[in-house]
């Protein structure tokens, strides 16, 4: 290879030697006759200098012409920089390559954005040009962190006796609770494969086969609504172990996390991780993935509230609800505006209001509750929540699930407000003892809280049919800083218990055979007790990289509307392909035809890009504002569609009932504005033209 080494690897040891470097032009400074270029590659940046003293006229002219992000190959000698140009911030800051020869290997066009500034560009634009976005150092660092994690994981798993086995991507639907992605079969008309939501069933079958310890870094697919911590396709470290109990699985996870934290972040984390029952997590932190980097526990004060005259508390209790409090130390002086924000936030989360107490340093108690609590009862209350003078206490009173949700959300809101979520800290914990089932109002039946292959608590088995709500499960979650990193369970390995669980989930005997007959059959031929886990690799890397979203740790992610603007996927396919797959689109059938393009445009018009509008106008909407506005815009678009569908042939145009003397439709057009007038109010103008931000210009 002609290149001596990576740009970022040159050092003082290379001074005095001939050097050849290749890379992208990151920036160019013309210092009156001498041109400095920062040439960059994946390893870093190197200053290259075009000086007529060493550089021929033709090469110098090339440096004058070359545009940012073009790819250059340069040759010359490596020198120490002049002392006044030394840059201690970069690894190659004391050296420079003085160019004798240069070649443009590939010239860059005008850029939609400068890669280093891509962090400030709207997501759809930066994902459309993801290859430019990925030139950024932060993203490269994130993906390299991911690569290092993956190398470490493979080694760790091998050292601990795990064997990697790949499982099919085209398979049968596995019920992890999300919608499947389906793949039509050409060979079996009308039949579909499902992309795996996880390799769950295959890994259990590998236990039946005697692999004993399996792992895989596996791609999983779930057709769910997107969030900052959710993508349609994601990667799991999936594992399964035979002849184990919960503790064995959790110990492996602890050891792996300890190893990764040490190797990747230089952090020593303490094991064993704290374990908390699901009920305790829900009651004390209002979440099944509690962020334990800070306190602010939720405290039940139902007994005390029941003795007060405060009708809202009494009413909630009378309706079978609870009253809970959070004490915020030292914040009795929260300004009114903060209290109002907290109240509005609580209401957004489903509360009807929010009672509070400000116990001032001087001992005075400010609260609506004051007149409904006797002095003794107030003292009892303050003691129960562990308050001192100077603290602020807030309350939530409603049905249990509402109170859990509201106070859990408020706890996080307070933590952000008070800056309690220390970035960089790694706080792991396990949540255990999950309920086996939860009732789904939507589906009108019980669904498995983890998945149907989870083993119920043995002592609860007698109540499986009669009292599903009391059945606990042998499931566990790993939580890091308030994010669920993964879940697992000890599995059912007995076909009778598995059948009973399926029945409890509302599956008919026929469904059971149809969907899971093969698994039940496998259990007939000698199945070891087994259990396992799956860890969300993208999420782990996101947290280790301190990145705000999964998009920052995935090379080619989708937008939040499940769309990839880079490749325009998903997109229409040829009729021929559909025919081969025996597929007729419902919209084609209903409309009796119509071109694919018409339909695509129609669909695009319906999904108004609110995010784009938010970014352009520099506003942030809350989740509820966003959904409200999306709904409103949707109904406006629907209304406009209905109007345009009306047959107006032969209908006379409506006349304005308001006389407006200023409006005339003259025969002649008014002379257009002079250029000077048109630009009079422009924020910025240049050579007789408005200056618009680059992002807007791209869109135009």
Please, which residue, 50 or 211, has the CB nearer to ligand ASP?
A: 211
The distance of closest approach from Cβ of residue 268 to ligand ASP in the complex, given in angstroms and rounded to an integer, is 28
Question: Is residue 488 involved in binding ligand ASP (CB under 6 A)?
Answer: yes
Window 497 to 536, contacts with ligand ASP (CB under 6 A)? 532-534
Please, which residue, 72 or 244, has the CB nearer to ligand ASP?
A: 244
How many CA atoms does the CB half-sphere of 407 hold within 13 Å? Answer: 32
Please, which residue, 4 or 487, has the CB nearer to ligand ASP?
A: 487
Nearest CA among 139, 208, 173 for reference residue 552: 139
Please, which residue, 23 or 532, has the CB nearer to ligand ASP?
A: 532
Nearest CA among 172, 188, 189 for reference residue 180: 172
Nearest CA among 48, 45, 134, 140 for reference residue 89: 45
Q: Which residue stretch of 48-56, 181-189, 399-407, 486-494 sits at the interface with ligand ASP (rule: CB under 6 A)?
A: 486-494
Q: Which residue stretch of 30-38, 86-94, 485-493, 602-610 sits at the interface with ligand ASP (rule: CB under 6 A)?
A: 485-493
The distance of closest approach from Cβ of residue 451 to ligand ASP in the complex, given in angstroms and rounded to an integer, is 6
Contacting residues for 454 by C-beta, under 8 A, at least 6 apart: 436, 448, 473, 474, 475, 489, 490, 491, 492
Q: Which residue stretch of 375-383, 426-434, 483-491, 577-585 sits at the interface with ligand ASP (rule: CB under 6 A)?
A: 483-491
DSSP H helical ranges for 276-428: 278-285, 302-306, 311-318, 336-348, 375-384, 400-417
d(CA 587, CA 233): 27
In degrees and rounded to multiples of 5, residue 154 shows phi and psi of -55, -45
The distance of closest approach from Cβ of residue 472 to ligand ASP in the complex, given in angstroms and rounded to an integer, is 16
d(CA 194, CA 174): 8
Please, which residue, 207 or 534, has the CB nearer to ligand ASP?
A: 534
The distance of closest approach from Cβ of residue 157 to ligand ASP in the complex, given in angstroms and rounded to an integer, is 15
The distance of closest approach from Cβ of residue 488 to ligand ASP in the complex, given in angstroms and rounded to an integer, is 4
Please, which residue, 215 or 313, has the CB nearer to ligand ASP?
A: 215
d(CA 214, CA 162): 5
Window 184 to 243, contacts with ligand ASP (CB under 6 A)? 198, 200
Total interface residues for ligand ASP by CB under 6 A: 9
The distance of closest approach from Cβ of residue 237 to ligand ASP in the complex, given in angstroms and rounded to an integer, is 10
The distance of closest approach from Cβ of residue 306 to ligand ASP in the complex, given in angstroms and rounded to an integer, is 40
d(CA 341, CA 660): 46
Q: Which residue stretch of 131-139, 211-219, 482-490, 684-692 sits at the interface with ligand ASP (rule: CB under 6 A)?
A: 482-490
Can you read off the two tokens belonging to residue 689?
A: 């033209």
Q: Which residue is nearest to ligand ASP (CB)?
A: 198
Q: Which residue stretch of 414-422, 484-492, 577-585, 682-690 sits at the interface with ligand ASP (rule: CB under 6 A)?
A: 484-492
The distance of closest approach from Cβ of residue 176 to ligand ASP in the complex, given in angstroms and rounded to an integer, is 5
Please, which residue, 4 or 198, has the CB nearer to ligand ASP?
A: 198
The distance of closest approach from Cβ of residue 489 to ligand ASP in the complex, given in angstroms and rounded to an integer, is 5
Can you read off the two tokens belonging to residue 145?
A: 């962190």
Can you tell me which of 94, 487, 498, 504 binds ligand ASP, judged by CB under 6 A?
A: 487
d(CA 144, CA 649): 63
Nearest CA among 629, 602, 631, 600 for reference residue 613: 629
The distance of closest approach from Cβ of residue 148 to ligand ASP in the complex, given in angstroms and rounded to an integer, is 24
d(CA 463, CA 442): 24
Could you tell me the CA-to-CA distances from 36 to 50, 55, 89, 307 in Å, in that order? 6, 12, 17, 78
The distance of closest approach from Cβ of residue 255 to ligand ASP in the complex, given in angstroms and rounded to an integer, is 18
Question: Is residue 538 involved in binding ligand ASP (CB under 6 A)?
Answer: no
Nearest CA among 422, 391, 169, 402 for reference residue 292: 422
Please, which residue, 8 or 532, has the CB nearer to ligand ASP?
A: 532
The distance of closest approach from Cβ of residue 160 to ligand ASP in the complex, given in angstroms and rounded to an integer, is 17
Please, which residue, 321 or 532, has the CB nearer to ligand ASP?
A: 532
Burial class of residue 437, CB neighbours in 10 A (0-12, 13-18, 19+)? buried
Please, which residue, 498 or 615, has the CB nearer to ligand ASP?
A: 498
Please, which residue, 198 or 407, has the CB nearer to ligand ASP?
A: 198
Window 83 to 112, contacts with ligand ASP (CB under 6 A)? none
CB 214 within 8 A of CB 166: no
Question: Is residue 449 involved in binding ligand ASP (CB under 6 A)?
Answer: no
Contacts with ligand ASP, 138-177, as mask; x by CB under 6 A: --------------------------------------x-
The distance of closest approach from Cβ of residue 543 to ligand ASP in the complex, given in angstroms and rounded to an integer, is 18
Contacting residues for 56 by C-beta, under 8 A, at least 6 apart: 100, 101
Nearest CA among 617, 612, 586, 613 for reference residue 599: 586
Please, which residue, 167 or 487, has the CB nearer to ligand ASP?
A: 487
**DSSP summary character for residue 650:** T
Please, which residue, 225 or 579, has the CB nearer to ligand ASP?
A: 225
Can you read off the two tokens belonging to residue 365?
A: 């108690």
The distance of closest approach from Cβ of residue 260 to ligand ASP in the complex, given in angstroms and rounded to an integer, is 19
d(CA 372, CA 309): 5
The distance of closest approach from Cβ of residue 538 to ligand ASP in the complex, given in angstroms and rounded to an integer, is 13
Nearest CA among 246, 250, 220, 237 for reference residue 162: 237
CB 576 within 8 A of CB 583: no
Window 262 to 301, contacts with ligand ASP (CB under 6 A)? none
Q: Report the phi/psi class of residue 435: left, alpha or beta, with left for phi > 0 and alpha for psi in -120 to 50.
A: beta
d(CA 368, CA 391): 16
How many beta carbons lie within 10 A of that of residue 82, not counting itself? 9
The distance of closest approach from Cβ of residue 478 to ligand ASP in the complex, given in angstroms and rounded to an integer, is 11
CB 47 within 8 A of CB 92: yes
Please, which residue, 35 or 505, has the CB nearer to ligand ASP?
A: 505
Please, which residue, 429 or 489, has the CB nearer to ligand ASP?
A: 489
Please, which residue, 62 or 537, has the CB nearer to ligand ASP?
A: 537
**DSSP summary character for residue 171:** B
Contact residues toward ligand ASP (CB under 6 A) are: 176, 198, 200, 487-489, 532-534
């Amino acid at each position: 290879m002609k290149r001596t080494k990576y740009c970022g690897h040159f050092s003082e040891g290379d001074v005095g030697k001939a050097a050849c470097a290749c890379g992208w032009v990151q920036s160019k400074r013309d210092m009156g006759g001498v041109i400095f270029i920062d040439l960059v590659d994946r390893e870093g940046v190197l200053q290259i200098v075009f000086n007529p003293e060493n550089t021929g006229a033709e090469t110098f002219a090339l440096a004058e012409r070359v545009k940012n992000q073009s790819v250059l190959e340069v040759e010359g000698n490596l020198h120490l920089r002049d002392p006044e140009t030394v840059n201690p911030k970069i690894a190659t800051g004391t050296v420079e390559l003085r160019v004798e020869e240069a070649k443009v290997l590939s010239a860059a066009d005008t850029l939609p954005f400068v890669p280093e500034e891509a962090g400030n560009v709207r997501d759809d634009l930066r994902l459309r040009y993801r290859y430019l976005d990925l030139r950024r150092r932060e993203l490269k660092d994130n993906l390299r962190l991911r690569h290092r994690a993956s190398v470490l994981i493979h080694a760790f798993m091998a050292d601990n006796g795990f064997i990697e086995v790949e499982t099919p991507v085209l398979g049968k639907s596995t019920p992890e609770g999300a919608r499947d992605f389906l793949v039509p079969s050409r060979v079996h008309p009308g039949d579909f494969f499902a992309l795996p939501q996880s390799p769950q069933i295959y890994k259990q079958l590998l236990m039946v086969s005697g692999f004993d310890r399996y792992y895989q870094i596996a791609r999983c697919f779930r057709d769910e609504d997107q969030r900052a911590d959710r993508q349609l396709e994601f990667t799991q470290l999936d594992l399964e172990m035979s002849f184990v109990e919960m503790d064995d699985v959790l110990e492996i996870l602890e050891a792996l996390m300890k190893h990764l934290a040490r190797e990747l972040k230089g952090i020593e984390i303490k094991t064993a991780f704290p374990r908390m029952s699901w009920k305790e997590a829900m009651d004390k932190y209002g979440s099944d993935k509690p962020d334990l980097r800070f306190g602010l526990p939720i405290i039940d004060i139902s007994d005390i509230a029941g003795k007060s005259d405060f009708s809202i508390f009494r009413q909630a209790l009378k309706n079978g609800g609870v009253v809970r409090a959070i004490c915020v130390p030292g914040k009795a002086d929260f300004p009114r505006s903060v209290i109002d924000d907290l109240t509005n936030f609580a209401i957004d989360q489903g509360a009807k209001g929010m009672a509070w107490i400000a116990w001032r340093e001087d001992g005075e108690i400010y609260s609506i509750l004051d007149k409904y609590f006797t002095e003794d009862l107030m003292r009892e209350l303050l003691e129960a929540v562990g308050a001192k003078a100077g603290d602020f206490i807030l309350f939530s009173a409603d049905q249990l699930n509402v109170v859990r949700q509201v106070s859990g959300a408020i706890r996080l809101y307070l933590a952000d407000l008070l800056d309690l979520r220390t970035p960089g800290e790694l706080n792991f914990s396990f949540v255990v003892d999950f309920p086996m089932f939860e009732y789904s109002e939507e589906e009108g039946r019980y669904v498995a809280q983890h998945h149907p292959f989870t083993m119920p608590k043995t002592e609860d088995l007698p109540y499986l049919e009669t009292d599903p709500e009391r059945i606990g499960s042998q499931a566990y979650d790993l939580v890091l800083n308030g994010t669920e990193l993964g879940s697992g369970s000890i599995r059912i390995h007995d076909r009778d218990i598995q059948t009973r669980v399926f029945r409890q989930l509302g599956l008919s005997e026929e469904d059971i055979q149809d969907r899971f007959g093969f698994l039940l059959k496998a259990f007939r031929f000698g199945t070891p007790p087994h259990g396992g886990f799956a860890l969300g690799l993208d999420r782990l890397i996101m947290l280790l990289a301190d990145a705000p979203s999964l998009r920052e740790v995935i090379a080619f992610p989708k937008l939040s509307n499940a769309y990839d603007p880079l490749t325009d996927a998903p997109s229409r396919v040829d009729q021929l392909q559909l025919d081969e797959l025996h597929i007729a689109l419902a919209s084609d059938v209903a409309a009796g035809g119509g071109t694919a393009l018409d339909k695509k445009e129609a669909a695009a018009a319906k999904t108004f890009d609110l995010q784009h509008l938010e970014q352009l106008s520099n506003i942030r909407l809350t989740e509820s504002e966003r959904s409200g506005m999306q709904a409103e815009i949707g109904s406006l678009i629907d209304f406009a569609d209905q109007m345009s569908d009306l047959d107006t042939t032969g209908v006379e145009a409506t006349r304005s009932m308001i006389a407006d003397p200023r409006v005339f439709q003259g025969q002649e057009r008014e002379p257009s504005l002079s250029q000077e007038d048109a630009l009079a109010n422009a924020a910025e103008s240049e050579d007789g033209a408005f200056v618009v931000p680059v992002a807007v210009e791209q869109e135009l």
